[in-house]
Amino acid sequence: MKLVFATHNKNKLLEVKALLPKHIELLSLDDIGCTEDIPETSDTIEGNAIQKANYVSEKYRVNCFADDTGLEVRALNGEPGVLSARYAGEEKDAQANMNKLLAALKDKNNREARFKTAIAVNLASEKVIFTGIANGIITDRQYGDKGFGYDPVFIPDGYNKTFAELPLSVKNEISHRAKAMYQLIDYLK
């Protein structure tokens, strides 16, 4: 089975490929010739995932899924949330986003946060959405060099290392994206 993952993000693609059964051929947007930046104008994480999946399935006539992820920080009333990738500006600079987040939390005692991933799936006429959540805390500085996005500042519950310090094999068992992906994999069976 061929399935398009509506992403240009190579790191996300590697994470997801490691999770999917071998009988599913995973294609990226680049693989199907989609070079445009797909609009993400919804005010919810779920809405953005649905918007991307609908765009790709309608324009390219393929089975696909799309995800959107947000980091929700309790002391910041859920920010950066749906704007996580653009928290520090439209250029989607992960380092600038982390710097802004750490500055906003500088004098905060409550550093509870959660990653939330929504995956929208479009298979023929079926449309389904799955959600995964990873709870944890935001550190006071960056740790580790693996992963991407906010991984160097997020320690998941039950661990003492950030996502950027944990091996991919561990992250792929406990992360928000992995939890949503496992629901997708069960659905595809």
**Whose structure tokens read 């993952």?**
5
Task: Indicate if the pLDDT at residue 21 is higher than 90.
Answer: no
Is 186 annotated among the ligand-binding residues?
Answer: no
Domains and CATH numbers, the chain: 2-188 (3.90.950.10)
177 marked ligand binding residue: yes
145 included as an active-site residue: no
Catalytic residue among 30, 68, 107, 145: 68
**Tens-place pLDDT, residues 78-129:** 999 999 999 999 888 999 999 999 999 999 999 999 999 999 999 988 999 9
Angle at the Cα of 9 from the Cα atoms of 8 and 11, rounded to 5 degrees? 150
State mean pLDDT over 65-82: 96
Q: In angstroms, how far is the first alpha carbon of the chain from the final one?
A: 11
Residue 149 counted as an annotated binding residue: yes
Question: Per the annotation, does 11 bind a ligand?
Answer: yes
Q: 0.85 exceeded by the pTM? A: yes
At 80-89, the pLDDT tens digits run: 999 999 999 9
